[in-house]
Amino acid sequence: MIKIENLHKSYQSLKVLDGININAEQGDVYGFIGSNGSGKTTTMNIITKLIPYNEGKITINDNKPYKLGYLPETPNIFPYLTGFEYLSYIAKCCNYQGDINQRNEEVLRLVRLFKASKRKVGGYSRGMIQRLGIAAAIYDNPDILILDEPTSALDPEGRLEVIKIINSLKEGGRTIIFSSHILDDVERVATKIGILSNGKIVVEDTINNILKKSKEMISYGLIVEDIDENKLDNLRKHGLIVTLEEQNLEIEPTTKMSSNDILKLVLNENINIIKFEEKRYDLERIYMEVTKNEPNKRND
């Protein structure tokens, strides 16, 4: 549905996208992850044709006609119009052929704004504007829906509402590209994930594959006493990556080892264990791992 190959984009001397590749099939909910300023919005603006790109190839819907819905990170909406009037304007923009009043009511009910639809947008809360933006984006039942950080500026309740709406939009086989740096939200919605770092896509896989791999990536966190550098070196000889910060010992096995094996090795070194816990890799840890070399994550 959306295939991006070797996409490059620079703003003067600043290289934002350095040959990214994205492949989102029909029906995918593609979670696009990256830190602030990593180029997510730039990529989305290029897909929506709002800005040009320098190099690369973008194929959308095999070059057949398609309908697009886009929700910008901050959906600015004419404050003097009511929600209903704004949607009527959007209907004219997309040359909607059906009954506009009926469609307005449908989408307003879907985003739970029908009661507020006669009020001016200038009096809406941030969450209501976000939901009106979603209503506008989905107005003409687009084949592709692009949502840029739809939950980032919302309170937990607002986030939950938007997540519910996005989940309800999955039906019908439309492709959704959804960017966020709130990884919990991505995990709840996405079927496929792409992680953008240093202008490149460093990971692209289905959420199932990523979480399956994460189950194999386990580390252990311990609070310990009676430990010194010699004991740490001895642990390292068993193929463990070991880091110590005050009493907090972090152990990451490089080969497959059970928690019992780890415990035995630690106890053999006469280290007193106060607390022991198994840490499974979730999306956040995977993200931190693959983006740890990003320039803006270093302290320099």
Residues that bind other proteins (CB under 8 A): 48-50, 52, 68-72, 74-78, 80-81, 85, 88-90, 92-95, 120, 133, 136-137, 139-140
Q: How far apart are CA 156 and CA 218, in angstroms?
A: 29
Nearest approach in angstroms of CB 77 to other proteins is: 7
81 vs 203 by CB, closer to other proteins: 81
Nearest approach in angstroms of CB 48 to other proteins is: 5
Nearest approach in angstroms of CB 80 to other proteins is: 5
49 vs 57 by CB, closer to other proteins: 49
CA distances in angstroms from 184 to 147, 188, 282, 286, listed in the order given: 16, 6, 9, 12
Farthest-apart Cα atoms in the chain, separation: 77
A 10 A CB-CB count for 19 gives 14
70 vs 220 by CB, closer to other proteins: 70
Contact 203, 196 (CB under 8 A): no
Q: Which residues on adjacent β-strands are paired with residue 2?
A: 24, 60
66 vs 276 by CB, closer to other proteins: 66
Nearest approach in angstroms of CB 173 to other proteins is: 21
Nearest approach in angstroms of CB 58 to other proteins is: 15
Nearest approach in angstroms of CB 142 to other proteins is: 9
81 vs 273 by CB, closer to other proteins: 81
42 vs 219 by CB, closer to other proteins: 42
75 vs 199 by CB, closer to other proteins: 75
74 vs 198 by CB, closer to other proteins: 74
Report the interhelical angle of 100-110 vs 126-137 (nearest 10°).
130
Report the interhelical angle of 207-216 vs 283-290 (nearest 10°).
90
Nearest approach in angstroms of CB 177 to other proteins is: 13
Nearest approach in angstroms of CB 134 to other proteins is: 11
